[in-house]
Amino acid sequence: MRNHLALFGTALLLTTSVFAQKIWDEGVPVPAGGRANINNYSVQDFTTYRDMGKLHAQFYPVAVTGALPPYQPMINVIEDGQDNPLRVVLSKIVQEISGINSFDQVMADLGLHQYPAITDTGVYQVPVPRTGRPEHRMGLGFIERHGATGFTFSCAACHSSNLFGKTVLGMTNRFPTANDFFVKAKKLAPAVDLWLFKSASGATNEEVQLMKELKTNIQRVGVKEPIQLGLDTSLAQVSLSLNHRNKDAYATPSDWFELFPRSDEILDHNPADSKPMVWWNVKYKNRWLSDGSVISGNPIFTNIIWNEIGRGVDLKVLEAWLKDNQKIIDELTTAVFSSEAPRFTDFYPAELIDIDVAKQGEKVFNQTCSKCHGTYEKAWNLPNADQLTHAQKLATTQVIPKTKTPVIDVGTDAYRRQGMKSLEKLNDLSISKANNIVIKEQKGYVPPPLVGIWARWPYFHNNSVPSLCAVLTPAAQRPKAYYAGDALSTATDFDPDCNGYPTGEDVPFAWKQPQYYFDTNRKGMSNNGHDVDIFIKDGQEILTASDKKALIKFLQTL
């Protein structure tokens, strides 16, 4: 029961005191229902901005991006017949360094998913260009520069995922690999001689210019491989990339800085990995990232800046582009803030959730969880609930988030939040100061709103807990290791009772590979926390087995 009129009504009824502040100022209160229509557009404009924003999320809009490899020469080297001896040499270099032997593999290695089916609707549908539905994977885009075509990847690379055969834009990519692209590019670009590149690939002078720019820009990029498939090092890449620039962070790096970049006492020795977060919770917060360290500034605008620092862009060029393209930022912002979550009942029968059990779970939630995670009004409590269908009773009629987004230390792995200390230097950039962007290391993490929590397994910011059953288990008894895998089948790839990855004998055989093995004993991957003083008091669990079962059923309705 997603009442869009109520959504706009909530947005229009925001108090005058809220609008007395700029919407991105620190501490602007979050109203009941959140801020889906963050810029308070009319219904017609909202729809237009949202749909355009979803297109930008598919096709990266930053025309001045620092990472723009020429498209056709790459196709020629990777896929065309090896009739040119020089092409054989270049192809061998590419394959030995990157392991790539087809362009679709490039996109697959980036973690890009197939486009939603034409028949998909609701949260599973995305607008497509007027030219028609693309044949390539979602997230691949093309940009014209210097009379040549380069390719790039977009927000969808990290913020879309497969969910039982449906592609969901705005959902965490369970296996993001965008950072690996830069690790490979950092090795590959210096090894490619421009004369060899032109001779072997058939590149035009304009395409050679794109490659030359890429070779220059990649020098500004500092890379770090994730500690585990499923985690992302984009934030570390931003900080490490700034260390490759001179003090004002604008000018092209000198040879000295490239040979001897500034060290980072935190990130050089510690991981700061986390998974990309879902979009549909952004509307319920007034500070952003898993640790709430973005305490001021538009998080979408901020993300574009960080993204391009990690792609080696000239920041003066980027700053000019951002000033000239505010509408694109507004469209992307609208798309992200208005994103909605998939429902459990889109894939499983509504009757799988016993309403009486879920109501008991609601009581447990309100007694144990709501003080941190907000409250959720349910249709089964409406005066006319007896007239609703089983599925309609499960709907959430109102989300009431915390007015001020809290940050709480519940004992979960601290490396991710501690790594943000290295990014506080972003506050010194003129582009940050001009747009009131403030980063501040936090002493904990944000207890996230729990909308769509059922679809967000594995849990915690570092994916260290495979299911909700494990979340509600004392840390010492949680699985120390588990196998992860793609959510292809509701029958084999998901445990609906525990809500998460199947474990033990139920693990699909195809998952039993080293890259899918998650070991929480490794640094940065601890599964501790979120138990003591939550459901453990004075050393004793306060939740019974039936309480936990009921709580999971309630959470599956959010």
Please tell me whether residues 260 and 115 are part of one structural domain.
yes
Confidence of residue 237 (pLDDT cuts 50, 70, 90): very high
Q: Encode 267-302: b = buried (16+ Cβ within 10 Å), e = exposed.
A: beebbbbbbbbbbbbbbbbbbbbbbbbbbbbbbbbb
For residue 15, tell me if it sits in a domain: no
Do 323 and 371 share a domain, yes or no? no
Q: What does the alpha-carbon distance between residue 29 and residue 73 come to, in Å, rounded to a whole number? A: 51
Residue 10 falls within a domain, yes or no? no
Task: Among 307, 337, 367, give the residue marking a domain's end.
Answer: 337
The Cα–Cα gap between 141 and 61 comes to 9
Question: 3-class secondary structure for 281-309?
Answer: CHHHCCCECCCCCEEECCHHHHHHHHHHH
- Residue 236 in any domain: the answer is yes
Per-residue pLDDT tens over the stretch 172-202: 999 999 888 888 888 888 888 898 888 888 8
Confidence label for 283 from pLDDT (cuts 50, 70 and 90): very high
Residues 144 and 200 in one domain: yes
CB 273 within 8 A of CB 416: yes
Domain identity same for 347 and 274: no
- What is the reported pLDDT for 397? 98
Q: Bridge partners of 70?
A: 150
Which position has the token pair 């207890």? 447
Q: Is the pLDDT of residue 248 over 60?
A: no
Q: Output DSSP code: residue 352.
A: G
Choose one of 318, 337, 356: the last residue of a domain: 337
Please indicate, yes or no, if residue 37 is contained in any of the structural domains: no
The type of residue at 496 is P
User: What pLDDT is attached to residue 6?
Assistant: 42
The reported pLDDT for the residue numbered 20 is: 45
457-516 residue pLDDT tens? 999 999 999 999 999 999 999 999 999 999 999 999 999 999 999 999 999 999 999 999
Contacts of 342 (CB under 8 A, 6+ apart): 123, 124, 163, 166, 168, 171, 452, 455
Confidence grade of residue 5 (pLDDT, cut at 50, 70, 90): very low
For residues 279 and 199, membership in a common domain is answered with yes
Same domain, 250 and 364: no
pTM for this one? 0.91
Helix (H/G/I), strand (E/B), else coil: 258: helix
> Which residues form the domain of 506?
343-406+449-558
Q: Is the pLDDT of residue 378 over 90?
A: yes
Predicted local distance difference test score (pLDDT) of residue 92: 58
pLDDT, tens digit, for every residue of 319-342? 999 999 999 999 999 999 999 999
pLDDT score recorded for residue 262: 79
- Is the pLDDT assigned to residue 257 strictly greater than 70? no
Q: Is residue 274 part of a domain?
A: yes
Q: Is 60 or 16 the better-scoring residue by pLDDT?
A: 60
* 250 shares its domain with 163: yes
Report how far residue 356's alpha carbon sits from residue 92's, in angstroms, rounded to the nearest whole number: 63
Residues 370 and 246 in one domain: no
Q: What is the pLDDT of residue 11?
A: 42
Taking only the tens place, the pLDDT of each residue in 95-132 is: 554 556 667 777 887 889 999 999 999 999 999 999 98
Query: What mean pLDDT is reported for the chain?
Result: 90
Of the candidates 334, 277, 333, 345, the one whose C-alpha atom is nearest the C-alpha of residue 122 is 345
**The predicted structure's pLDDT at residue 114:** 92
Number of domains in the chain: 2
Task: Assign 145 a pLDDT band (cuts: 50, 70, 90).
Answer: very high
Residues 325, 366 within the same domain:
no
Percent of the residues in the chain that have a pLDDT greater than 90, as a whole number: 77
Q: pLDDT value at position 18?
A: 41
Judged against a pLDDT cut of 80, whether residue 89 lies above it is answered with no
pLDDT band at 41 (very low <50, low <70, confident <90, very high): very high
- Whether residues 378 and 285 share a domain: the answer is no
**Of 23-27, 251-255, 410-414, which range is least confident?**
251-255
Distance between alpha carbon 162 and the CA centroid of its chain, in Å? 13
Highest averaged pLDDT of the listed ranges 65-74, 264-273, 281-290? 281-290
The residue-averaged pLDDT of 355-380 equals: 98
**Is the model's pLDDT at 61 over the cut of 80?**
yes
Look up tokens 């990472």; give the residue.
Answer: 67
Q: Assess if residue 151 is contained within a domain.
A: yes
Of 304, 337, 370, at which residue does a domain stop? 337
The answer to whether position 35 is within a domain reads no
Q: Are residues 312 and 401 in the same domain?
A: no
Percent of the chain with pLDDT over 70: 89
On whether residue 433 sits in a domain, the answer given is no
The b/e string for 425-457 (b: 16+ C-beta within 10 A; e otherwise) is: bbeebebbeebebbbbebebbbbbbbbbbbbbb
Looking at the fold, whether 272 and 352 belong to one and the same domain comes out as: no
Place of tokens 């090896």: 82
